[in-house]
Amino acid sequence: MNVVGTAQESVVVPESEVELAPAHLDDAQAAALPLTGLTAWRALVTKSGEALPGRNILVTGIGGGVALNALQFAVGKGCNVWVTSGDEGKIGKAVALGAKGGVNYKSAAWDKELLALLPNERKWIDAIIDGAGGDIMKRSVRLVKQGGVVVSYGMTLGPKIDFPMSAVLKNIDLKGSTMGSRAEFRDMVRFVNEKKIVPVVSKVTNGLDNLEGVEELFQEMKDGKQFGKLVIRINKDKASKL
């Protein structure tokens, strides 16, 4: 964490920490990029080592900002991306963004269902980018190749991950990943520029003093309805009354 914070009309940061926002993004899209983009970049590119053309990448819990950035980056790298969600509509939206397909994690046998979707020439997942935890390592034994990797950037299902001996014997690595370095941030922004990637924004509300609108964003996040980032747009012409 840092002392800059968020949801402010202005902040002061060292010039060395600033990157030019990609010109093809509007203000809301640019605001949606830094933290989730950096977290996704480190997890996918640095930690997994599998962001290569033709590799099968599974991104769990599609709909959140990090998961969506991981999907977009992996597609941009030429990977075959697969997703999970508890919402069929979100799976459809992910496919529209370039995912090859997905399964509903509410199904007890979602790992078997995903295997059935994989192409015959590559019936395994090379890397899982996961923000949930829970039984993901148990599922990985069925899904991930020998010597594959699970990269964990979150734990929405709880603070513990079960690690079965079968995953050890299959040489599956579990790597933790949070945010990233200054160099990774630079590389991520360059990639977004190069591929003209547009972060997914679910909803925008105007004004810091629009308390009802801000509360709606928090409620949407609590209900799990969002597909993309939730953004507060600061009014350039009128300061808030807070």
Look-up of token digits 């968020």: 6
| pLDDT at 139 exceeding the cut of 80 | yes
- Alpha-carbon distance of 44 to 173, in angstroms, equals 14
Task: Write down the pTM of the prediction.
Answer: 0.91
Q: Is residue 65 predicted with pLDDT exceeding 90?
A: yes
Report the chain's terminal Cα–Cα distance, integer Å: 24
pLDDT band at 98 (very low <50, low <70, confident <90, very high): very high
pLDDT digits (tens, 9 = 90+) for 13-51: 888 888 999 999 999 999 999 999 999 999 999 999 999
Does domain 31-182+189-194 bear CATH number 1.10.8.50? no
* Triad 8, 12, 13: Cα angle to 5°: 120
88, pLDDT greater than 70:
yes
Contact 129, 43 (CB under 8 A): yes
**What integer pLDDT is reported at residue 10 of this predicted model?**
79
Please check the confidence at residue 228 and state whether its pLDDT lies above 70. yes
Q: What is the mean pLDDT of the chain?
A: 92
**Domain ranges, ordered by start, for the chain:** 31-182+189-194, 205-242
Helix/strand/coil (H/E/C) assignment for every residue in 160-200: CECCCHHHHHCCCEEEECCCCCHHHHHHHHHHHHHHCCCCC
pLDDT on residue 173: 96
Fill in the amino acid letter for 92: G
Residue 94 has pLDDT above 80, yes or no: yes
Least confident of 56-70, 186-200, 207-221: 207-221
126 neighbors 148 (Cβ within 8 angstroms): yes
